[in-house]
């Protein structure tokens, strides 16, 4: 039995006569195993660009039609479709004899989109009849057709630098003693606009790098640390002097279109920095004194 699905037809040109050739079409990707590899977003952009060209100037046009189970001559075969290709032969392709259409996907959000097919010709004077349709993208889901958030997009978001906490929390620490550092690993939720799509972004602090300002190697860890007595990130200063500590936080992210449920990972990371106030690394020495510091506040070690 042949499953007949209605055609969702999207046809128009990418290139107008005199406005370019197939050789400079940004959507003419290399074909592999009979299929041109485009992401769902690239495919949607190709169709959007195609709609802007007059039908009689078409060099590249698109349609959506089912995908047959078997391939013909090692190339994917379009399934049966009902409709008319603007500017061309109204006789659309269908599966060959005894070749059923492939079962579509089950999507998380809405109905699956039919495979996208492309037909090209070398000039507007060449008729479309008999020219092959090439598979651009197979069955997809509505949640797949979203613009990709690049690392650059992610880094432009106003990510708040996590607070850098130092213990002891005062203007000085002791030389040769543990100085504790820790931060807040809270996940941040932001909304932004990406190419006209409202996006929800979830940013997670995933790596923390501390520069202790004394020339020692930075401390890189995935632990946010904790205050005393549960600390697991600390540093021991070996020399006296004025120091500052800088925390560089590396963020990973994921995003989705507002109102949908499917998340996409950001292909890259972002960083933020936080720096402590200057403090002194000091050495304390024991002194014999008469009485307490309350009684003699100016005695050695009391100030």
- Is the pTM above the cut of 0.85? no
Please measure the distance between the N-terminal and C-terminal CA atoms of the chain and give it in whole angstroms: 93
- 89 and 171 together in one domain: no
Greater confidence, 54 or 33?
54
- 180 and 79 together in one domain: no
- 130 and 188 together in one domain: no
- 60 and 200 together in one domain: no
- 140 and 161 together in one domain: no
Instruction: Kindly report the three-state secondary structure assignment for every residue of 231-273.
Output: CCCEEECCCCEEECCEEEEEEEEEEEECCCCCCEECECCEEEE
Q: Are strands 60-64 and 116-120 parallel, antiparallel or unpaired?
A: antiparallel
Q: Which domain holds residue 251?
A: 151-282
Quote the CA–CA distance of 158 and 189 in Å, as a whole number: 11
Using one digit for the tens of pLDDT, what is the confidence trace for 109-138? Answer: 667 777 778 888 899 899 888 888 888 777
Greater confidence, 206 or 19?
206
Rounded average pLDDT over 144-164: 90
- 167 and 48 together in one domain: no
Residue 302 lies in a domain: no
Tokens of 132: 């092959």
Quote the CA–CA distance of 179 and 164 in Å, as a whole number: 13
Give pLDDT, residue 154.
96
Distances (CA, A) of 84 to 7, 8, 73, 75, 165: 9, 11, 25, 23, 67
- 192 and 271 together in one domain: yes
- 124 and 186 together in one domain: no
- 264 and 195 together in one domain: yes
Greater confidence, 93 or 263?
263
- 141 and 155 together in one domain: no
Tally of structural domains, the chain: 2
Q: Are 77 and 70 in contact (CB under 8 A)?
A: yes
Of 133-147, 156-170, 246-260, least confident by mean pLDDT is 133-147
Residue 232 lies in a domain: yes
Contacts of 197 (CB under 8 A, 6+ apart): 146, 147, 257
Q: Are strands 116-120 and 134-137 parallel, antiparallel or unpaired?
A: antiparallel
Quote the CA–CA distance of 47 and 36 in Å, as a whole number: 14
Vertex 66: Cα angle to 14 and 116 (nearest 5):
20
- 61 and 17 together in one domain: yes
Q: Are 49 and 38 in contact (CB under 8 A)?
A: no
Residue 294 lies in a domain: no
- 35 and 83 together in one domain: yes
Q: How confident is the model at residue 33 (pLDDT cuts 50, 70, 90)?
A: very low
Mean residue pLDDT across the chain: 77
């Amino acid at each position: 039995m042949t499953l007949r699905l209605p055609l969702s037809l999207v046809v128009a040109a990418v290139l107008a006569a005199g406005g370019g050739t197939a050789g400079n079409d940004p959507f003419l990707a290399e074909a592999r195993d009979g299929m041109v590899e485009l992401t769902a977003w690239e495919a949607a952009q190709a169709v959007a660009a195609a709609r802007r060209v007059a039908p009689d100037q078409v060099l590249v046009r698109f349609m959506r039609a089912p995908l047959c189970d078997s391939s013909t001559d090692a190339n994917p075969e379009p399934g049966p479709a009902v409709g008319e290709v603007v500017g061309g032969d109204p006789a659309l392709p269908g599966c060959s004899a005894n070749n059923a259409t492939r079962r579509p996907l089950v999507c998380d959000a809405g109905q699956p989109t039919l495979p996208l097919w492309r037909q090209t010709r070398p000039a507007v004077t060449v008729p479309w009849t008999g020219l092959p349709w090439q598979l651009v993208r197979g069955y997809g889901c509505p949640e797949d057709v979203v613009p990709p958030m690049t690392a650059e997009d992610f880094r432009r978001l106003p990510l708040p630098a996590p607070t850098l906490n130092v213990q002891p929390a005062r203007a000085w620490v002791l030389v040769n003693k543990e100085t504790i550092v820790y931060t807040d690993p809270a996940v941040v939720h932001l909304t932004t606009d990406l190419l006209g799509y409202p996006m929800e972004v979830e940013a997670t602090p995933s790596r923390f790098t501390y520069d202790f300002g004394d020339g020692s190697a930075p401390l890189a860890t995935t632990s946010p640390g904790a205050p005393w007595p549960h600390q697991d990130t600390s540093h021991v200063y070996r020399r006296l002097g004025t120091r500052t500590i800088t925390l560089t936080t590396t963020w990973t992210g994921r995003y989705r279109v507002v109102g949908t449920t499917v998340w996409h990972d950001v292909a890259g990371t972002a960083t933020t920095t936080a720096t402590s106030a200057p403090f002194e690394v000091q050495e304390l020495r024991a002194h014999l004194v008469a009485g307490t510091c309350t009684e003699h506040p100016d005695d050695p070690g009391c100030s």
